[in-house]
Amino acid sequence: MTADAAAIAAESITVGVLALQGGYVEHMAALSRIGQVVAVPVRTASDLDSVDAIILPGGESSAIGRLLEVFGLMEPLRKRIAAGLPAWGTCAGMILLAGDIDNDERRHLCLMDIGVTRNAYGGQLDSFDASTIIPELGPDPFPLVLIRAPSITRMGPGVRVLASLEGKPVACMEKAMVATSFHPELTADGRFHEWFASLARSYLVPR
């Protein structure tokens, strides 16, 4: 390990969670259980300046999109993610990141080269649990909680599948951006949050 790599490995990392609407509390609780990770809520552009990575939580994508505009966060968030800030969108967060939304004319951050369909797995009453193996997390199946979940309908050439369910992708990655149809924060399994924290750490530079 080089001196720079050792310095990064020993350093705490600050992961922001967009805290305008939706399930941000659960993400912050999951992050708090990881060593050398500081979880902070992000509600303003100055909050965003302090983070090494950002999680866009589940909730209502159209409401979060409106609040991003109201709070003056849309453009600062878009610019930081486009510049390489590691970002993970769960459910509604996936919709915020997506370049195309098949059943909605609105676009939000429009950064990932994916197409999605909102509520593809049904409404609130159609929510369900499943499991699948995610190679990055090891050989044991990972629990999936899908609530009014979007589906991934298109992926550009730079996007790779991280996880599938019944032959359909439910998690994908492009550069430092990650999107999941499911909600790891609603399970007791912390592996996905740990993996994302490790991904974010790999983008750090020594301070």
Q: Which of 26-40, 102-116, 169-183 has the lowest mean pLDDT?
A: 102-116
Which residue is catalytic, options 26, 27, 108, 183? 183
Q: Nearest CA to 17 among 82, 63, 83, 64?
A: 64
Residues 204, 43, 71, 180, CA torsion sign:
positive
- Taking only the tens place, the pLDDT of each residue in 43-54 is 999 999 999 999
Which residue is catalytic, options 91, 172, 174, 193? 91
- pLDDT at residue 204 tops 70: yes
Inter-residue contact 161 to 135 (CB < 8 Å): no
* Active site (annotated) includes residue 193: no
Q: Residue 13 is inside which H or E element, if any?
A: strand 13-18
pLDDT of residue 161: 98
Q: Nearest CA to 42 among 101, 11, 94, 85?
A: 85
Angle between helices 191-202 and 24-32 (to 10 degrees): 80
Stretch 61-87: mean pLDDT: 95
* Active site (annotated) includes residue 27: no
Stretch 22-35: mean pLDDT: 96
* Active site (annotated) includes residue 166: no
Domain boundaries, the chain: 3-202
Average pLDDT, the chain: 90
Phi-psi region of 54 (alpha: psi -120 to 50; beta: other; left: phi over 0): beta
- Taking only the tens place, the pLDDT of each residue in 85-110 is 999 999 999 999 999 998 777 778 99
- pLDDT at residue 125 tops 60: no
pLDDT of residue 31: 98
Stretch 27-43: mean pLDDT: 97
What is the CATH architecture assignment of 3-202? 3-Layer(aba) Sandwich (3.40)
CA distances from 35 to 4, 39, 84, 192 (A): 20, 11, 23, 14
> The tokens of 150 are what?
């979007």
Which residue is catalytic, options 27, 108, 185, 193? 185
Stretch 155-174: mean pLDDT: 96
d(CA 105, CA 92): 15
pLDDT of residue 18: 98
